[in-house]
Structure 1
Amino acid sequence: MSAPVAFGSVVFAKDVERLARFYEAVLGLQVLHSAADHWVLRANSGMELVVHSIPPAIAESFRISTPPERREDCALKLFFPVPSLAAARARARALGGDLLGPEREWEMRGFRACDGHDPEGNVLQLREAGLPA
């Protein structure tokens, strides 16, 4: 019998291992599989995040600055739960990404949220639960 298919997303990366390690550390994901061209990470909820390499011809056509420029013109922004925005912010910054400062956090429906980006500039949102709904 095969395993059930999980909900998930794919993020394309120039540096697959660096980006996978970022999501593993900031979100507390478990590495299910790693290869040169992709890593599969899983949350306790069963959601999977696949970090997949950008084809070399495309990857060679652009550079990622330090710090990375946020790719805010993307049509998609992923959001993820974290136990603590403050702790996630510190880990993100230590690993080459960023989460906007506490003054940019906002609240609704029982969580506090803040936008940021990963080390390659992909936008994301982190959400800390625990506020009254």
Structure 2
Amino acid sequence: MPGHAAIYVGDVDRMVGFYTEVLGLSRVDDEPGFATLESDDWVLTLVRSPDAVPPSDPPPRRSDSAVKPVFAVADLDATADAATARGAVPDPPDARWTHRGEARCDLVDPEGNVLGLRAPTH
């Protein structure tokens, strides 16, 4: 059974583009104000909220959230590059760490939400 998370966003369509292109999730519905994206590991619901519209560009890092979704990827560098091309800001390579035999890093999506990435160590 996949993990499920909801992320509040200001621009659902922009964030659908980010999560589908960077993390390979597929959109499975089309309801006004919502988007549900899926992979074998995740169900991610994007919820439009006026409170989630970033106050600036680039957006401030929303590091005060008590929960951070972590996505499995094949390659941290390739995913960080793809995320950057779509407006995200990855933490620098020297901020990466290893946990449970996987390389890990954080990035800030185009609206300021903090995500974790994990990949096999090489």
Residue correspondence of structure 1 range 19-34 to structure 2 within 5 A: 19-34=15-30
Q: Which runs of 4+ in 1 moved over 4 A?
A: none
Q: Which residue of 2 aligns with 1:10?
A: 6
How big is the alpha-carbon RMSD for the aligned residues of Structure 1 and Structure 2?
Answer: 1.8
Residue correspondence of structure 1 range 1-133 to structure 2 within 5 A: 7-45=3-41, 47-54=42-49, 56=50, 58=51, 63-130=54-121
SS in structure 1 at match of 2:28: strand
Unaligned runs of 5+ in 1: none
Letter in 1 for 2:61: R
Q: Does the aligned pair in 2 maintain the 1:82–1:88 contact within 8 Å?
A: yes
Unaligned runs of 5+ in 2: none
Identity percentage of aligned residues: 35
**Partners in 2 of 1:89 and 1:102 — Cα distance?**
10
**Partners in 2 of 1:74 and 1:14 — Cα distance?**
16
Letter in 1 for 2:69: L
Query: C-alpha displacement at 1:7, in angstroms?
Result: 3.3
**Partners in 2 of 1:107 and 1:82 — Cα distance?**
14
**What TM-score does the superposition give when structure 1 sets the normalisation length?**
0.82
Higher RCO (Cα < 8 Å, 6 or more apart):
2
Q: Does the aligned pair in 1 maintain the 2:54–2:60 contact within 8 Å?
A: no
Larger radius of gyration: 1
Letter in 2 for 1:106: W
Aligned residues: 122
**Partners in 1 of 2:17 and 2:118 — Cα distance?**
20
